[in-house]
């Protein structure tokens, strides 16, 4: 129900030729930030099992799609779509609850990704 984290960072490489009075910049290595998902806790244990495998050294990488729905919330029509590749769970936070507000239990999953592309 909540998502955060489509970002890319590109290193800057400065260089200077012998006659230049100032350095020039060019792009270097680029990296994508981690994707962060939050949702209400459900009985399905597949997310917990995925991160548990990673903790045991069995890294299962997965590709996925993030579809952002329009205002009409038609699940068959997304306004924006991002695809992510070679993701694995690097952080899980579970059972966040505010008992005074009557809210539901929330779990959060953070995925390390190799690449993100807008479809």
Query: Rounded to the nearest 10 degrees, how much is the dihedral formed by the CA atoms of 50, 118, 81, 106?
Result: 40
Q: What is the distance, to the nearest Å, from the Cα of residue 100 to the centroid of all Cα atoms in its chain?
A: 30
pTM: 0.80
CA distance 115 to 87: 9
Q: Which residues pair with 65 in a beta bridge?
A: 83
pLDDT for res 99 = 64
pLDDT for res 41 = 75
| pLDDT digits (tens), the chain, 119 positions | 778 878 999 999 999 988 889 999 999 999 999 999 888 777 788 888 999 999 999 999 999 999 888 777 677 778 889 999 999 999 988 776 666 666 677 888 999 999 999 98
Question: Which secondary-structure segment (H or E) carries 27?
Answer: strand 24-32
């Amino acid at each position: 129900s909540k998502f955060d984290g489509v970002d890319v960072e590109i290193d800057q490489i400065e260089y200077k030729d012998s006659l230049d009075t100032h350095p020039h910049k060019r792009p270097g290595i680029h990296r994508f930030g981690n994707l962060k998902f939050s949702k209400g806790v459900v009985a399905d244990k597949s997310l917990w099992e995925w991160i548990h495998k990673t903790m045991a050294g069995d890294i299962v990488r997965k590709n996925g799609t993030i579809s952002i729905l329009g205002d009409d919330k038609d699940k068959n029509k997304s306004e924006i779509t991002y695809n992510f590749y070679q993701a694995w769970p690097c952080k899980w936070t579970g059972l966040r609850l505010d008992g005074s507000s009557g809210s539901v239990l929330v779990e959060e999953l953070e995925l390390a990704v190799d690449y993100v592309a807008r479809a």
